[in-house]
Structure 1
Amino acid sequence: MDKLLSVIIPAYNCESTIKQAIMSTGVYQSDNVEVIVVNNGSTDNTKLIVKEEALNNKNIIYRESKKGVSNARNKGIETAKGEWISFLDADDCFINYKDNKIHETLLKSKYDLLIYNYLVGQSKIDLYSMIKEVEHSKIIMKMLENPTKFLTVWGKFYRTSMIKENNIRFNKLLRYSEDSEFLIRYLLASGQIEFNESYIYKYNLSENSTVRSYNPQLVAEYEKAIKQIKIDLENYPTYKYSLSVFILMQINLIMVHNIFISNGTNRIGKLKSICKKNYVRDALNSIGLRDAKNIRLLPLLLCKYHMYIFASLIYKIRIFYNEKSIKNDKNK
């Protein structure tokens, strides 16, 4: 490998943030980092900005792909010459990159996956403190049961050889949860996982995020991802319960980011309809009153016992606090 680290940035209409993202990677401070920016159909000045940066630094590499974040990330993987790969979204950034001595950690690490803490807006997400297990299977269970915190592709460092030797790529047919599906397959192929207590990534909240806007195709797209992840895990009975929790967490996302933000009527009817689908009903049958202490499962437990009105109230409250969090972060 020519470099220690390849940072892959999918770029789509990100002229206002792409330069900050590139600069946050440490590419201007270390010759051991390469940044691969993959433009996937931008119609603004993204291409010009990245090409100008590439002229100033030979370790900034410009590539193009077909539309879609999976196509962009796969192009980045094909291009990568680093021993490690990390993914960075164009509107996010690495933080305290040099202070956290990432290079020293990567040089010494014997692990297949390094996972760091991160920020969502101004809120700290402390994954390091959440993981007490050292057994590989138990870590995967914890990650499956907490997908919104753990199953993001960013904030992590992957061995390039592990990705390429196992032919792990992003599924181009998926529009949602494609990063979770990629990471699950990587987890199944990997050996030991290391968690680091440093905060190295900032996920910037946006009111314009695609998952915060009503999309009539979102339910079908999430279902497509769920079915693929079920196939990925079908030979691993150890993760049966954790997979059920993962599926129910996806249903939460569908409700909060789709059904209950729409202006349409019969939202409770749509909730009932989704809960009657076979894959959701099977997942609901895996949980019971013992899971009531898990606040995230509470609306699904209410659905299991046909208390849909109370479940809908919880979803509406969650949407209210999500919107409030975005506005508060924007005003800071």
Structure 2
Amino acid sequence: MEPLLSVVIPVYNVEKYLKRCIDSILVQTWKNYEIILINDGSTDNSSNICDDYAEKYQHISVIHKKNGGLSDARNVGISHARGIFVYFPDSDDWISEDTFSDLAEVLNEGIFDIISFNREFVKSEDDKLMSPELKKQELSGNVALLEMLNQGDVTGFANDKIYKKSLFLENKIEFPVGKYYEDLGTNYKLFLAANRVYVTNKKYYYYFVDNPDSITQSWSGKKLEDIFGFSKEIFYSQAVQSVFNSSELKILNCFYTDNLIYVLTILYKTNLSEECKQLTMDVNSELRKNGVSLLRFKKRTNFKKYVLYKLGLLKLVFDLRLRMKRYR
């Protein structure tokens, strides 16, 4: 019998964390799944760990390939998945033992194109999942996209979502190879293609933030260019703009402004603005053209930084911080 769910785990040099991730899947009491380990050219012991699990468990398979990055590994996983649904946990993270059993009814119904839950950012296995008062929603794909843009109960990440495989195949959607922050450039397309989305704010996913090799632990011009590029792509997308009314388009504008301020802050904070002058100019240009009022932006993550930007003080603040660090 074919599994209902394919758990695709891209693996690259995570020998310290991989067993924890795989074991968190194996302890699930709902068993209608397969695990596909995509060894993406690991140079540590990850490859052997994958082989050991595949030899021990019939429902675990491993694909060894040349390094192509996270997106390429996920795309390979989709092409080999036998399940109706696919799920992409990161190999240095893990999930709660009740994840699949809690979502079993929704999975078995088979009527939702995307199942979205939530996450906790943790620094150790001792950290607990602290969910707010439980909320469940059934949304259209467009409304779920708006929730994501408005920083609601739907995040922009892929690893706290289960997708129908057909969303990728029938709409020719792939994760963008060679890009950082691929979730940002993929999720909006999947939401636009989705008819029904199940959303719960319950936290099942442990997002490990203390991995020194994590993408968020170091910055480069390439990473910031990709965030900027995907944010700009979403904002100017005719497919996105055509499904929103005038008030919803203002939420889209706030999302874009928030991401622009985020990128600009990192550029100034890390002094990459000197190295990435063109990117800094482009971000500032987009902010001048598309910035929103402070009142409308008040509830956004980067509100305080946006105030500094509007006052012309954002660069000055981080220049002063960098100078203070030099003289310590």
Q: TM-score range by the shorter chain?
A: 0.7 to 0.9
Q: TM-score, normalised by structure 1?
A: 0.79
**Distance across 2 between alignment mates of 1:296 and 1:131:** 27
Contact kept in structure 2, 1:6 and 1:82, CA below 8 Å? yes
- The amino acid across from 1:169 in the alignment is E
CA-atom RMSD in angstroms? 3.4
**Distance across 2 between alignment mates of 1:44 and 1:13:** 5
Deviations 1:233-292 (A, max 9, x none): 555242533332222332344245553145x7979x999745532x333331x3343333
Secondary structure in 1 aligned to 2:226? helix
Query: Which of residues 151, 156, 159 in structure 2 aligns to 1:154?
Result: 159
**Distance across 1 between alignment mates of 2:219 and 2:167:** 37
Partner residue of 1:218? 223
Partner residue of 1:90? 91
1:306 is the counterpart of 2:312: yes
Q: TM-score, normalised by structure 2?
A: 0.80
Count of matched residue positions in the alignment of Structure 1 and Structure 2? 310
Give the unaligned 5+ runs of structure 1.
Answer: 317-332
Contact kept in structure 1, 2:157 and 2:184, CA below 8 Å? yes
**Distance across 2 between alignment mates of 1:272 and 1:182:** 24
**Distance across 1 between alignment mates of 2:281 and 2:133:** 38
**Distance across 2 between alignment mates of 1:230 and 1:141:** 12
**Distance across 1 between alignment mates of 2:314 and 2:278:** 10
- The worse-fitting range, judged by mean Cα deviation, of 292-301 and 69-78 is 292-301
- The amino acid across from 2:215 in the alignment is T
Contact kept in structure 1, 2:11 and 2:38, CA below 8 Å? yes
**Distance across 1 between alignment mates of 2:133 and 2:78:** 27
1:242 is the counterpart of 2:246: no
Secondary structure in 2 aligned to 1:13? coil
- The amino acid across from 2:95 in the alignment is F
- The amino acid across from 2:314 in the alignment is Y
- The worse-fitting range, judged by mean Cα deviation, of 84-93 and 252-261 is 252-261
Q: CA deviation at 1:93?
A: 0.6
1:103 is the counterpart of 2:104: yes
1:143 is the counterpart of 2:143: no
The 3 A distance-change label for structure 1 pair 218 and 101 is: closer
The 3 A distance-change label for structure 1 pair 40 and 202 is: same
- The amino acid across from 2:70 in the alignment is V
**Distance across 1 between alignment mates of 2:136 and 2:105:** 23
The 3 A distance-change label for structure 1 pair 271 and 159 is: closer
Q: CA deviation at 1:7?
A: 0.7
Amino-acid identity (%): 23
**Distance across 1 between alignment mates of 2:249 and 2:20:** 41
Contact kept in structure 2, 1:303 and 1:311, CA below 8 Å? no
Contact kept in structure 2, 1:131 and 1:139, CA below 8 Å? no
Partner residue of 1:63? 63
- The amino acid across from 2:197 in the alignment is I
Contact kept in structure 1, 2:30 and 2:104, CA below 8 Å? no
Deviations 1:196-250 (A, max 9, x none): 2433211011252232213243332323323433454555242533332222332
**Distance across 2 between alignment mates of 1:304 and 1:133:** 38
Give the unaligned 5+ runs of structure 2.
Answer: 322-328
